Structure 1
């Protein structure tokens, strides 16, 4: 346990010296869970250091969105944006349109829900990101703001306690990244063309 704490402190100090706050936040949460919340680290529950039985639930560390009571990982920043192409920090493949949430991202494929510019973003499009437990959802409406956000979709999010910010995509990415850098519990849907 002492060795784990020393590693935790050294790595966190290094990240803070380099002013890499998002990475420091992510890494500190990961190392804290690894060294202090792992089943064998709780000596009051397992005084001999024995591992718990296989039936003991293990924390789910999947990067898919799940409803969370608090944010455990930061929202990934959008690294670049151009017509028809977006990249997300930590993801090697580019996206045309994408969904992002604390701890993950994926392509936003309109064919999954039958989305079109009109009537626009549907509840089925935003539900996955809202289920990740975000407080703010930034929607990029396209480079020419052709994508609409129906009132019904915005109201559905508001009823769930999610603030909606629908902007032209370049402005939406700037707003999303600003919030993500501040550590906000933010998600986004971004359309990178018209």
Structure 2
């Protein structure tokens, strides 16, 4: 479950929320459960804190930003992902689960900066970040190592040492989790 993702190529001007699911690690139905929101003109999502919300019930998952609903997903993920047609013969691992399977079980929440991906989310050249090309290729088996080796180029853009880290790329004011 991706609560918030900065859209590649748009920096802090576009935020995405995505539900990742699939019967195998290589088969993901995220494209049927993703949304994006553009910031108001001239603002960007990096100018202030925002509330990224997920309401997760036995009937649906509702994604919101600052109390404004962005997406409502109402289960039946096998059909939603069109997995029978996309991968004939792949067994449905959720056949005995409930309406929201596989999201009818406990999950962990993670908060991170997603880097080094090879799934095409971060496009290969000519895409540029701060005047520099991406330091790895989507076909590379060592993408994360290549990313780390180029830290002299990208780490300054995270602004860790500016204004007591108040300009850092990822700041979290608080996290609240409760059961309904």
TM-score, normalised via structure 1 length = 0.21
TM-score, normalised via structure 2 length = 0.22
